[in-house]
Amino acid sequence: MKRETLSRVLSILLAVAWLFAVALAYYIVHKPFTVENLLAILNALGDVLVAAALFALAAALGRRLTRALRFASPLEALVFQAGIGLAMISFATLALGLLGWLNPILFWALLLLSLFLLRADLISSWRDLRALHLPIDSRFDRVLALFCGFTLALAFLLALLPPTAWDAQTYHLVEAKVAIAQGRIAAPPDIVYFSFPSLVEMLYLAAMLLKGDIAAQLIHLCFFLLLLGALFAFAARYFSARVAWLACAVLVAVPSLVSLATWAYVDLALVFYAFAAFYAVMIAREANDWRWFALAGVCAGLAMGVKYTAAIVPLALLVFIIQPRRLSFVVVFLSFAALFAAPWYLRNWVFTGNPVYPFVFGGPYWDAFRAEWFSRFGTGLLNTPLQLLTAPWDATILGSEGAVSYDATIGPLLLALAPLLVLVFYKFQNQILRDALVFSTILYLFWLAGLAESKLLLETRLLFPAFPTLAVAAAVAFDRLAVIDLPQFSLQRFARLLVLLVLGLTAFSYALGFASVNAFGYLAGFESRDVYLARALGGYYAAIQFVNTLPPNSKTLFLWEPRSYYARRTVQPDAILDAFAHLHSQFHDADSLAAALRQQGYTHILLSRVGLNYLLQTAYDPIAANDTQMLQDLTVRDLKQVYGKTPFEIVMRGGAPTLLGASNDQYAVYEIESP
């Protein structure tokens, strides 16, 4: 018996050895992946782990700070707690930056120590996450869930690509990059956006210290997840799971929102905090509890910490709070809103002497010319009131990502479904729905006022904070259409077919967009970061790479090019596209302008030929003939072209001035010659 057992053991060992040897020998010759593939996958995994660690820390911090509140569901708890926790990480990063303690080792130590100290809250948050239950009651709900899941999966993969979005390269990531290079947060350079509220930029700073810019992009995707979670929890609490799924699908069917989720922008953080503030006010009024009014104030203040335009959020919410017997709640709400908005405005006051720099009081680098250029009051739609009336139609039907007007693709569902409430509202009286409509209307009127004042505010992105409550209205309208169905025709079934068609077409367009960027080439390591950026950014990246080869002591002025994230030399970007016009207002001939640039230490000029040509063709910015003539004189008399082949020459084509050869030769770099 023992001999038979030993024989079997030897047979098994030989078989295992043989199987292992064959497999090993085969894959030594036929390698399934290269070192580059493995490193690329590990690099992406590292970005995901850093973003997940920050999100986990945020959830634990938020749980610790909101222990006195009772939430209706684990999802409701998680979205509020994580949102509050992310803000605490932002404040901590600001404090460390002001102290000059921007060190990766320190940030890693603080991250690990915080996770250890908050391990009990971390475990509880994990239990809440595992306890999440999102009911799916019908096949239609399942389709909505699949659409959301499919889109979020694509968004996750796109967020793992190197940053190429415009504003990310202009200031959202540049602010963090400059702070890391300096080792501290100091008085801002001549980039006006650095003085805007920076709650999200501080999170990007933390992520970049811990890992890099792709981890930062994932933070913005986390805000999109929080927004959808808050929307689902709200709609499920006050309406139904069907309304919750449809409201989320309506938001996910907004292409520009999905694009933003994959970029290192700030808009989705603003939308989340604005909606969370509205959500908290609804609960507070129901519970009659000052703590919920305090939480609403916190969220409103955090929204003001993302963008100046969020000042409308607490004002809009006062409509639901101000009542004779609730004046103490108003004080609580406003006090917490002011407290949690204050860090960014105090920072500006210390650095620039103006808490709302550059508005109202001006400050460094600012004068009357730049104030007028940046505001453009009187250039809005006030002179064409019909366009104000048709703004929702124009923004939906005519607006598209990258367009001069509205600059967003928002899909048809919000405009198609939300107005249908008119048909069913009289049969469905609901206080929460009325409040959602009032909140949306106030934000809409604020956006409309901006459209009337200035063409620079002709952006649909500024209306995004109203989208969650509008999505709820759209979903409720769809859900209640059955009350006006006829035996011969079901309006709800017809609307369902339309929704399914729109979601199908939207999913298909998302898939095509994903395929067009060849994401797997980079993610799998077949394409390096530089090769991907060269392919994605084209002529701009080639020009920046040339600037990076200039002498280390060079200083380059950018004209009509605001992006500077990938520059590794000292550069001054044209942040609000006014650099040359501003210089021309101060110096009236090419020689004096060149002398001033030399005195300021500039050695080179990068000219975005394609940017200048676009503005000449569209007449979006005022560029007069004497401006281009002076620039041409400057290139002839004081500059030597060292990059690009086409000389500067303006010709007339189609009745508009055109920069010759701009489409083929997009950028030029000039050396400022000695007098």
pLDDT in tens, 120-145: 999 999 999 999 989 998 999 999 99
Find tokens 């509050």 and name the residue: 84
Is 19 inside a domain boundary?
Answer: no
Same domain, 198 and 99: yes
Domain assignment of residue 433, yes or no: yes
Nearest to 267 by CA among 141, 174, 165: 165
The pLDDT assigned to 675 comes to 79
> What distance in Å separates the CA atoms of residue 158 and residue 259, rounded to the nearest whole number?
9
Q: What is the pTM of this model?
A: 0.95
* Angle formed by the axes of helices 104-117 and 35-65, nearest 10°: 50
Query: Are residues 472 and 421 located together in one domain of the fold?
Result: yes
Say whether both 121 and 181 belong to one domain. yes
Residue 575 inside a domain? The answer is yes
Q: Is the domain of 158 the same as that of 189?
A: yes
Q: Could you report how far apart the first and last alpha carbons of the chain are, in Å? A: 102
pLDDT value of residue 6: 82
* Helix or strand (DSSP H, E) at 668: strand 667-672
Q: What is the pLDDT of residue 427?
A: 65
- The 3-state DSSP class for residue 367 equals coil
Nearest-angstrom CA–CA distance, 257 and 247: 14
| Residue closest to 341 by CA, chosen among 370, 318, 319, 310 | 310
Number of helices followed by number of strands (H, E) in the chain: 31, 7
Q: Cα torsion at 241, 243, 246, 250 (round to 10°)?
A: -140
637 occurs within a structural domain: yes
pLDDT at 315: 97
Based on the domain organization, do 554 and 633 belong to the same domain? yes
At 213 the pLDDT is: 96
Residues 554 and 655 in one domain: yes
Low-confidence stretches of the chain (pLDDT beneath 70): 1, 426-428
Spatial distance between the Cα atoms of 517 and 161, rounded to a whole number of angstroms: 10
Residue type, 636: V
Number of structural domains the chain divides into = 4
Specify whether 240 is located in the same domain as 196. yes
Q: Are residues 570 and 599 in the same domain?
A: yes
What is the span of the domain harbouring residue 568? 539-672
Same domain flag for 49 and 152: yes
Pairing mode of beta strands 555-559, 604-608: parallel
Closest-CA residue to 55 (of 12, 17, 99, 87): 87
Which amino acid is located at 543 in the chain? A
